[in-house]
Chains A and B, each alone.
Chain A
Amino acid sequence: MDRRGFLAAGGGLCVGLSLGGGRASAQGFRAARGLSLGEVDTFLAVAADGRVTLYSGKVDLGTGVRTALMQIAAEELDLPMSRVSVVQGDTLLTPDQGATISSVSISRGGVEVRRAAATARAALLAAAAREWSVPVEGLATLDGEVRAPDGRALDYGKLVGGRTFMLKVDPKVKVKDPASYRLVGRSVPRVELPAMVTGQFEFMHDVRVPGMLHARVVRPPAMRGRLGEVDDSAARRIPGFVATVRVRDFLAVVARDEWAAIRAARALRAQWARWEGLPDQSQLWASVRASPILRDDVTQNVGNAPLMLQKAARVLRSTFDFAIHTHGSIGPSCAIAQWEDGRLTCWSASQQTHELRRQLADMFALGADQVRCLYVEGSGCYGRNGHEDAAADAALIAREIGRPVRVQWSREDEHVWDPKGPPTLIDYVAGLDERGQVTAWTAEAWIPQGQSVSRATLVAAELGGLPTDASHPGSVQQHLAIQYGFPNIRSVAHRLAHTPFRPSWIRTPGRMQNTFGNEVFVDELAQAAGVDPIAFRLRHLSDARAAEVLGRVAKLAQWVPHEATRPVLQAGRRTGRGVSYVKYELVRTYVAVVAEVEVDVDSGAVRVTRVHVAHDCGQVINPDGLRNQIEGCVIQTASRTMVEELRFDRSTVTSRDWASYPIMRFPDVPDVTIDIIDRPGEPPWGAGEPTAAVIPSAISNAIHDAIGVRMRSVPFTPSKVKAALRAAREAGTRG
């Protein structure tokens, strides 16, 4: 189905003359030009009634991106928001603006939309000027109309008349002066919330395709397994059973309704070969350290750190590790697939429908133009969880049985089979001179190999013996390079050939783990130098925005400058505060946080009571939306830091539900206070992830402030805290 068919069905016709004068209809545009990012029509369509459709490759994940993009488009076009609607993540209709990852939806996607809308506005003004035979300089736009000084007005709908713009986006187009903003920079309420609170919002899980059947996948008991005999005699007796699907080691049952599919999956008897290829979890870090290394990436090299280490008066060493985490989506992955005349349509909550389309095309030996992937919101996914795998499951089952199929993963499917945030191990060594000044900083990390395009192997393809990609978790070496101006720095990433599970990106991938190590180790260096942690950071940064964000969090938290003290370890509760800072990927959003904790020295239990955040992401599109993201980063990452650790045996994941993989619940959620630095004259940067990067270290630094021990291993479970206290007592030292 092409875009014309869609639009005709939707009631908004795009036929006839282009604004530029040539003859081209919308469907001709699509066929001739595809969805180039350089064309205004790729992003915007104006219907005859003046309503504007925004076509976005970036999708809303519960992040407020849809509303923010509407604000941006409506601002540049001088339109009420109520006249804008969004189509997102449909490979047939929306451009490939890259996956919705990396916190660039606004900084890249939003800027692309802004330029397209501004170019469109200029074209509308020019068209009105021609229509009225007046100079364009005297004209203005307001409320979806072009207005002349003499009072004449033309609605955009009348000007464009549902035609296409046939216009290239001007990369240097003059965008609106932020001083004139009516929408951008305001806390416009998210457009989805009224539907969400009344049960009207349609999630992926709510999509119904006519004639669809319900399927459940049946996975091996281990992470790998050859499938032997399948006995579905009991499954077949379940009323509503339709079929068993087997493609090599891929196994599923299909039924007329959802509960029948669940019952049939439970009744299925399958023999799987044993597999024990996972490391012993109690030896995980030894096995990471011993993993074969594909190559070493030098991530930063300043001066000659190895030489200066040899000459140092004193050497500090610390090792950090960060556990394997799962995304923990509240709604297990769900997808629907339908084949028709050799073409595949797939509905899922994938953050990257264009990439999914390519993966499914490869899996089934199709051309990309024979596959259409549509995005429908799932629950928060925080990276590459099971959505794409559910899509591949549905596509394979639907192909086998010749009917549209809905696959719903169980809670166990999601916990076990979603790809995981890989384990991270980092050794730091720093050299100090006689005065405690840092002369050299080195970091050595053991992390999986990565590629610039993030992708993960599709489970269905792997089990079914069909083509798929190797997994690459994205740029997890980010932030091994540091911003601090130490005179000699060398950091290296050992890219490992293997990692225990399919690695994928989970919020702030690599950047969280590496910033954890950096910002605790910096605190240790501040302690060695006898300098306040904020003052120490400021000394080694020459960046005005860095100084401001650190100054603002100090003010917000009423930080009292102090050297790291050595508290007497005694029974009872101790409170402490710790600071952390990052400039995300060294090139964009600045965040500084102060975390406050309360430690029960007897039980080792740590409560994160409050986190203060100062945040500079340049031009803020929606302040409340930004606050929502910052709070989310804090709370989710506090959970990951304090309690989360994927557990496994030699065969499989043993964290199979919320009891065996607990996450933070209401009683333990910290308060969050936020100071937003809004710079309307700067480019807008992202906020979905940067704050998450600094939470683990801020909490660790706060624990040190409270009880004098350094937590260098995430999660900071009570038993680890107690072990650290014991070790400190036995050593007679602190930290």
Chain B
Amino acid sequence: MGERQDEFERVAMPHVASLLRFARRLTANRSAANDLVQETCLRAWRAFDGLRPGSNVRAWLFRILINTSRGEGRKAKRSLELASFCREANPRSMPSVEESVELLDALDALPRDQKETIILVMIEGFTCREASEILSVPQGTVMSRLSRARQALREELASNCSRVSR
């Protein structure tokens, strides 16, 4: 393996799992998510020589993934087959499997721009500034999308609960 490949392996490949989770939320199925991540990594590999030393590789990879998915017109859609139901949430416990499915379904139901923002900031831990660079939008837009996304998630979860309890 060449020096360039070793370096790519060291700095980029550890992020494949995060990229795949993110891609699964943006694409229709797992196969499409795999394709998206593979294309992202290959684009990153081709552009790797131009990456400045000290750059935030993780943010760079997410930006490539976003651009790739936008360019290819992929649609965010997830198809989990599990039935969802609501149960009383214990505030300090791990969410149950069912609750997780419910949360992810609610996440998937968000508009794409809100979903991208909430995953990058709340889950992947990017700062608003980093998310704004990844998504190519102003920081203020990131913050307002985040706020709207949180509100929409709460409403979606509340409506699921009331539907199940009826």
Decide if A and B are genuine partners: no
B-side residues, CB < 8 A to A, are none
